[in-house]
């Protein structure tokens, strides 16, 4: 079976953007597809509720690497609330198409994006709740 990848897909596979890990990330997440064996690991930095930086590591095929590369480029600078609604079709369009049997890689990339944002929000909500807790006052000794 021959796969016809676009020039853009092959370029993103051979020269992926944002590959690696962020030191001291605000959140991390891992996703995988048991059917094909692909895995993605994302690390995220957020500033002012916008994606300041996002990186990925891949254990997968050319489509897995290319879709994560393109997606991370597209979401940098986006507000978290907008990035949560990112549509996998945008990746396919940006790559000028994917073989039908490889479209699931774009879905996996978006699943990873949503998961790392969710992890950030969980962590951030916990920090926020803890900072909102009333301070414990030391009472005078009770006689």
**What is the structure's pLDDT at 143?**
47
Q: SS3 of 27, please?
A: strand
**What is the structure's pLDDT at 133?**
44
- Contact yes or no for 25/45 (Cβ under 8 A): yes
**What is the structure's pLDDT at 124?**
86
**Could you read off the pLDDT tens digit of each residue along the chain, which spans 143 residues?**
457 899 999 999 999 999 999 999 999 999 997 777 899 999 999 999 999 999 999 998 999 999 999 999 999 999 999 999 999 999 999 999 999 999 999 999 999 999 999 999 999 886 655 545 445 444 555 44
**What is the structure's pLDDT at 3?**
76
**What is the structure's pLDDT at 98?**
93
* Helix intervals (H) in the chain: 7-14, 62-75, 80-83, 88-94, 104-132
Domains and CATH numbers, the chain: 7-126 (3.90.1010.10)
SS3 annotation, 38-52: CEEEEEEEEECCEEE
57: its two tokens: 């590591």
pTM for the whole structure: 0.85
**What is the structure's pLDDT at 85?**
95
What are the pLDDT digits (tens) for 51-63? 999 999 999 899 9
Candidates 61, 80, 83, 73; CA nearest to 10 is 61
């Amino acid at each position: 079976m021959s796969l016809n990848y676009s020039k853009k897909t092959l370029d993103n596979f051979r020269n992926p953007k944002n590959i690696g890990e962020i030191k001291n990330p605000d959140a991390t997440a891992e996703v995988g597809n048991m059917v094909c064996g692909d895995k993605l690991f994302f690390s995220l930095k957020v500033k002012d509720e916008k994606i300041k930086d996002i990186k990925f590591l891949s254990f997968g095929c050319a489509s897995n690497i290319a879709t994560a590369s393109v997606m991370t480029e597209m979401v940098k600078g986006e507000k978290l609330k907008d990035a949560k609604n990112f549509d996998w079709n945008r990746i396919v369009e940006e790559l000028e198409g994917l073989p039908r049997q490889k479209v699931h890689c774009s879905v996996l990339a978006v699943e990873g994006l949503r998961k790392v944002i969710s992890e950030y929000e969980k962590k951030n909500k916990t920090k926020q709740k803890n900072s909102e807790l009333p301070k414990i006052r030391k009472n005078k000794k009770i006689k």
